[in-house]
């Protein structure tokens, strides 16, 4: 059983895959309590794997995003294998505090606050910028590095940082700008 907040179909709104039609499996529950989190952790239902597959099956996309909350608390290698066997590309959005199954296709690590990271590398590192010192991530191995304004409130500070640090890219929450989930 896995606690699911919601399952829905939309466009990926953040990071490397922005604009990609995706099926979102949003897990409920997290080991951190971030003040800007957009998941209501008191909501959700416990679902069997068959129920999850039934819920995602009507959608035409093959890009699957495991998000949360913190999905690493609820997934395992067998579930990822089952997604792969059904033809899905599996992306996870994680805070990086838990180890992950090795068979995930794309890891988006979005560290929060001062939490100790269990991960040392990911496909993309996406920092929600609240003014914190991000030099602590200089040794984190990532193909892509994104800095994202916190709820689009401090975009000017993020742009200023990016212009001074061209190794980072801008990630906006485009789904909020175009008013989709």
Examine the residue annotation and report whether 150 is marked as an active-site residue of this protein.
Answer: no
Of 93, 94, 97, 140, which is the active-site residue? 93
Examine the residue annotation and report whether 139 is marked as an active-site residue of this protein.
Answer: no
Contact 165, 129 (CB under 8 A): no
Of 14, 17, 27, 30, which is the active-site residue? 30
Examine the residue annotation and report whether 38 is marked as an active-site residue of this protein.
Answer: yes
Of 14, 17, 27, 39, which is the active-site residue? 39
Examine the residue annotation and report whether 93 is marked as an active-site residue of this protein.
Answer: yes
Examine the residue annotation and report whether 37 is marked as an active-site residue of this protein.
Answer: yes
Examine the residue annotation and report whether 175 is marked as an active-site residue of this protein.
Answer: yes
Examine the residue annotation and report whether 102 is marked as an active-site residue of this protein.
Answer: no
Of 8, 18, 20, 34, which is the active-site residue? 34
Of 6, 37, 89, 174, which is the active-site residue? 37
Examine the residue annotation and report whether 24 is marked as an active-site residue of this protein.
Answer: yes
Known catalytic residues are: 24, 30, 34, 37-39, 93, 175
């Amino acid at each position: 059983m896995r606690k699911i907040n919601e399952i829905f179909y939309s466009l990926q709104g953040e990071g490397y895959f922005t604009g990609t039609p995706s099926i979102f499996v949003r897990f409920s529950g997290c080991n951190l309590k971030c003040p800007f989190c957009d998941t209501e952790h008191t909501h959700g239902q416990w679902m069997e794997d068959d129920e999850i597959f039934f819920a995602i099956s009507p959608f035409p996309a093959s890009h699957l995003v495991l998000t949360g909350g913190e999905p690493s608390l609820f997934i395992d290698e067998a579930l990822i294998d089952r997604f792969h066997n059904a033809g899905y590309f599996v992306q996870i959005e994680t805070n990086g505090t838990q180890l992950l199954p090795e068979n995930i296709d794309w890891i988006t690590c979005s560290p929060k606050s001062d939490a100790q990271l269990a991960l040392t590398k990911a496909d993309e590192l996406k920092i929600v910028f609240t003014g914190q010192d991000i030099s602590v991530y200089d040794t984190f191995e990532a193909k892509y590095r994104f800095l994202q304004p916190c709820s689009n409130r401090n975009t000017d500070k993020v742009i200023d940082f990016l212009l001074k640090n061209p190794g980072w890219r801008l990630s906006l929450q485009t789904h909020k700008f175009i008013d989709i989930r």
